[in-house]
Amino acid sequence: MTIKNICCIGAGYVGGPTMAVIAQKCPGVKVTVVDINEKRIKQWNDPDVEKIPIYEPGLSAIVKETRDRNLFFSTNVDKAIDEADMIFISVNTPTKTYGIGKGMAADLKYIELCARQIAAVAKNDKIVIEKSTLPVRTAAALKNILDNTGNGVKYQILSNPEFLAEGTAVEDLKNPDRVLIGGDIESEEGREAMEALVNIYASWVPKEKILTTNVWSSELSKLTANAFLAQRVSSINAISELCEKTGADVNEVAKAVGMDSRVGPKFLKASVGFGGSCFQKDILNLVYIARTYNLKEVADYWEQVIIMNDYQKRRFAANMVQTMYNTVSGKKIAILGWAFKKDTNDTRESAAIYVADYLLNEQAEIVVYDPKVTEEQIYSDLDYLGSRSGDANRQAVTVVNSPMEACKDAHAIAVLTEWDEFKQLDWKKIYDQMLKPAFLFDGRRLLEPNTKKEIGFEFYAIGN
Ligand code: NAD
Ligand code: UDX
């Protein structure tokens, strides 16, 4: 089966970059990315390619090359579904905020809406691909909806979870560690559908890196991969506090531990806590699934990764207050970095939001600088927490366009995202413009400590 026409529902952090790379690598395939969010689609179609809604290194160049050649962005979901042989569902699957499973389970309403729309529109056979991260066995629900509400056409449902990380999405998509495809390996039609997707990826990914398996293993592998990665961060963060108490240095410990080839060096960087749209949501989902099967010990084990992460964010903020003589009331604190990691404008679950909220509860005045995050986004993140009124957030938080402006007359600075540019700042000049003693809290182990101490900063870093 040769695929000529792909539709992707959801033009977000996954749908946009993933389809851009497919369009680039498969020039003979027409790829249409659709979304109900008109503003987002308008931004994807902005004649100035630097204004696309997602900042990822290398992405705008690919969009420039492929857009209106074989990559299209549209709000006409029905048309794109109708024309496609293969439909990726790449919509958001946030944690439920209501009803059964509130605060734990994945909210599948957007997925179900997609399935119902596909069923209503499709007039010929389709391969439907779960690109979103989903609870194990979701494919069964999708199939049920498609088979029972559709126009009698045949569907093959595949699971093809995405492993890209934000900030390195393009590189991850071009050179993935592996591509995972789950399908109905028992049936001929299932195997054919899997082969069709394998062939798309095989345009640029070596065949030995394309794994095929059954749907349930594929769905569960994605949740498991994120749980393992997050667990490493929580593990090293747990050790960071012990380092602070004992005089050990968490970077040295991580290096020594990571050089054991059985452990490996990656994902052992202590921080103010992991953020991002995936880790917390996916672990909560895993915990919820384990609980629904009455696997208490399994659920408790993974839940601890989240408990540790929440503690790390709180602990960092509490340490700031404690260090500054137990009060930050009325003090100006500069936050450098709002994104959940460098090289992205995504702020979902960013540690900065929680640290700022903690400091605001202590009546601090906050000034934020981030090179890629908008003022509107920062206020919206704080408003979403509901800790205080929107007006109160706007009164206590200022967003500025330069780090120098953020730090002027500040009592303290907190570095919360590891943007490269923070390393190059004129720290002496910053120090001179601050109130004294000038406190500098490094939540990312980004800055070289000795030079900062020599300048005169009261310098604190996670795990040191
Ligand atoms: P996102 O919120 O950036 O994008 C999702 C998009 O889907 C939104 O633009 C939304 O408007 C659109 N949408 C929702 N319902 C729709 C519908 N019925 N019809 C058309 N469009 C609809 O989300 P994301 O970060 O791209 O994540 C998507 C999925 O991929 C999630 O399941 C997530 O867990 C998973 N994932 C994300 C990442 C990541 O780094 N962000 C990595 C791997 C996997
Ligand atoms: C993650 C997974 O890595 C990716 O495979 C999956 O597809 C989506 O979720 P992402 O959330 O985009 O990707 O970024 P990631 O690089 O994993 O970082 C997540 C958070 O952990 C960030 O806040 C980051 O700063 C933090 N982190 C990561 C650490 O604090 N220390 C580390 O050693 C690594």
- At 445, the amino acid letter reads R
* Nearest-CA residue for atom 34 of ligand 2: 267
**What average pLDDT does this structure show over 104-120?**
95
Q: Does 14 sit in the ligand 1 pocket, CB within 6 Å?
A: yes
Atom of ligand 1 nearest to the CA of 134: 32
Nearest to 6 by CA among 123, 443, 20: 20
Residue nearest ligand 2's atom 5 by CA = 163
Bond into 57 cis (ω within 30): no
Total residues belonging to the chain: 464
Task: Return the best residue to mutate from 166, 221, 257 for the ligand 2 pocket (most ligand atoms within 8 A of CB).
Answer: 166
What is the residue type of 371?
A: P
Q: What is the ipTM of this complex?
A: 0.98
Q: Is the pLDDT of residue 137 over 90?
A: no
Question: For the whole model, what pTM was predicted?
Answer: 0.96
Active site residue 8: no
Architecture of domain 221-464: 3-Layer(aba) Sandwich (3.40)
CA distance 173 to 152: 35
Query: Which residue bears the tokens 């990312």?
Result: 444
With 0-12 / 13-18 / 19 or more C-beta atoms within 10 angstroms meaning exposed / middle / buried, residue 443 is: buried
15 Cα to the center of ligand 1, angstroms: 7
Q: How far apart are CA 11 and CA 31, in angstroms?
A: 12
Q: What percentage of residues in the chain have a pLDDT greater than 70?
A: 100
pLDDT at 102: 95
In degrees, to the nearest 5, what angle opens at C-alpha 310 toward C-alphas 282 and 105? 30
- What residues does each domain of the chain span? 5-205, 221-464
Q: In ligand 2, which atom is closest to the CA atom of 279?
A: 9
Instruction: Determine the pLDDT at residue 13.
Output: 96
Is the C-beta atom of 13 inside 6 A of ligand 1? yes
The pLDDT of residue 455 is above 90 = yes
Confirm or reject: Cβ of 111 under 6 Å from ligand 1. no
Same fold, 5-205 and 221-464: yes
pLDDT one-digit tens code per residue, 351-410: 999 999 999 999 999 999 999 999 999 999 999 999 999 999 999 999 999 999 999 999
CA-proximal residue: ligand 2, atom 11 (nearest) = 276
164 lines ligand 2 (CB under 6 A): yes
Burial status of residue 292 (CB atoms within 10 A of its CB: 0-12, 13-18, 19 or more):
middle
For tokens 């205080």, the residue is 388
Query: Tell me: the pLDDT tens digits for 254-268?
Result: 999 999 999 999 999
Facing residues of 346 across strands?
A: none
**Ligand 1 pocket member 15 (CB < 6 A):** yes
Percent of the chain residues past pLDDT 90, beyond the cut:
98
Residue 47 in this model has a pLDDT that exceeds 90: yes
Ligand 2 centroid, distance to 300 Cα (angstroms): 22
Q: What is the pLDDT of residues 277-318, one digit of tens each?
A: 999 999 999 999 999 999 999 999 999 999 999 999 999 999
Mutate to test the pocket of ligand 1, among 41, 178, 277 (most ligand atoms within 8 A of CB): 277
Euclidean distance between CA atoms 68 and 87, whole angstroms: 19
Distance CA 130, CA 161 (A): 7
Which residue has a Cα nearest atom 20 of ligand 2? 274
Q: Which bound ligand lies closest to the C-alpha atom of 14?
A: 1
Residue 408 CB-half CA count within 13 A:
7
Q: What is the DSSP letter of 204?
A: T
Predicted pLDDT at 1: 81
Q: Which ligand is nearest to the CA of 115?
A: 1
Instruction: Please give the pLDDT value at position 151.
Output: 87
The domain made up of 5-205 is a member of CATH 2.60.40.10: no
Sign of the Cα pseudo-torsion (60, 61, 66, 67, in order): positive
- Nearest-angstrom CA–CA distance, 222 and 116: 24
Q: Is 162 a catalytic residue?
A: yes
Average pLDDT over the chain, rounded to whole?
A: 97
Instruction: Pick the catalytic residue from 278, 281, 349, 418.
Output: 278
Which of the ligands is closest to the CA of residue 15? 1
278: annotated active-site residue: yes
- Which residue, by CA, sits nearest to atom 34 of ligand 1? 133
pLDDT of residue 150: 82
Query: Which two tokens mark 160?
Result: 């093809």
Q: Check residue 418 and give its pLDDT.
A: 98
For 351, counting Cβ atoms within 10 Å of its Cβ (0-12 exposed, 13-18 middle, 19+ buried), the class is buried
Ligand 2 atom nearest residue 162's Cα: 7
Mean pLDDT of 36-56: 96
Q: Is 128 helix (H, G, I), strand (E, B) or coil?
A: strand
**274 CA distance to ligand 2 centroid (A)?**
7
Which position has the higher pLDDT, 1 or 413? 413
